[in-house]
Amino acid sequence: MAEYGAQPRMGFFTDTSVCIGCKACEVACKEWNGVPEAGGEDLLGLSYDNTGDLGSNTWRHVAFIEQRKPAVDLGMPAVGAPDQEPEEPGVRWLMSSDVCKHCTHAACLDVCPTGALFRTEFDTVVVQQDICNGCGYCVPACPYGVIEKRESDGRAFKCTLCYDRLGAGMEPACAKACPTDSIQFGELDELRERAAARVSTLHDAGVPEARLYGHDPEDGVGGDGAFFLLLDEPEVYGFPPDPVVTTRDLPRMWKRAATTAAGVAAALVVSFLGRHR
């Protein structure tokens, strides 16, 4: 676990089993960070989702996934008016608030040519807007498809984990606004322990499909600074099942390129000397 000075690594644990899809996190994120609308109140035809996915103008995205499966009783209080009609039999909703994962091995950092992307003292990944030149190399480098260039000015934007709030001793705006504590902020080691206990509780309560995603330091990105408790396979939520840092092969590629270049240079030297004998 990386630490910078005496500051432990900070992050998010999103417990999707208690997300009610209220979108308070989306609103709080936009209001605090001054994130513009993602093109208006679009009706995408995807249930109640009007933002689609993460991007330069959507740093928090609440997904609504409708499944033809019996709803699982997670011990949550009923939501809605007392006379509200019951949910359709055989249908359940999975809701999840997605965000930048603040990867341990962040490919966006590896490819940024200007140093606009940097790792903070909290071990989070932030874009410095006054340094970003809009090259866009970070966009395809992200294994989660999080970072995006904003069409209005060409620079890249994504979640900063409210870096300015952390510096002032405050929690991120989305976690502060979440009414069910679905989004939890804190020291990453403590969050991982809390998440493991929550999964165990759900298993004991008869929810065997509960699992953690992005918590493993041995995965393809070295573990995420923002990880999730899911109630189905990662693909159902739009997550890659086995994310891998996209720059993992760069050292080997550069080594091979250097070897090839050295071989070509040696051949040219031999050819040049042979001509002058």
Tell me how far CA of residue 145 lies from CA of 59, 73, 87, 148, in angstroms: 12, 32, 33, 8
Q: Is 162 annotated as a binding residue?
A: yes
Q: Is 201 annotated as a binding residue?
A: no
What is the DSSP annotation of 195-218?
HHHHHHHHHHTT-TT-EEES--TT
Q: Is 29 annotated as a binding residue?
A: yes
Q: Is 165 annotated as a binding residue?
A: no
In the block, tokens 């090259």 appear at: 135
Q: Is 159 annotated as a binding residue?
A: yes
Tokens of 253: 């590629």
CA distance 220 to 214: 10
Q: Is 137 annotated as a binding residue?
A: no
Q: Is 167 annotated as a binding residue?
A: no
CA distance 245 to 219: 10
Q: Is 202 annotated as a binding residue?
A: no
Q: Is 135 annotated as a binding residue?
A: yes
Amino acid 103 reads: C
What's the alpha-carbon Rg for the chain, to the nearest Å?
23
The answer to whether the CB of 70 falls within 8 A of the CB of 92 is yes
Residues in the chain: 277
Amino acid 14 reads: T
Tokens of 128: 């410095």
Tokens of 179: 């009414």
**Strand extents, DSSP E, 130-253:** 148-149, 156-157, 183-187, 211-213, 226-230
CA distance 219 to 122: 21
Q: Is 62 annotated as a binding residue?
A: no
The answer to whether the CB of 212 falls within 8 A of the CB of 228 is yes
Q: Is 104 annotated as a binding residue?
A: no
Q: Is 178 annotated as a binding residue?
A: yes
Q: For residue 244, what are the β-bridge partners?
A: 220
Residues 6+ apart with CB under 8 A from 130: none
Residues forming the annotated binding site? 19, 22, 25, 29, 100, 103, 108, 112, 132, 135, 138, 142, 159, 162, 174, 178
Residues forming the annotated binding site for [4Fe-4S] cluster? 19, 22, 25, 29, 100, 103, 108, 112, 132, 135, 138, 142, 159, 162, 174, 178
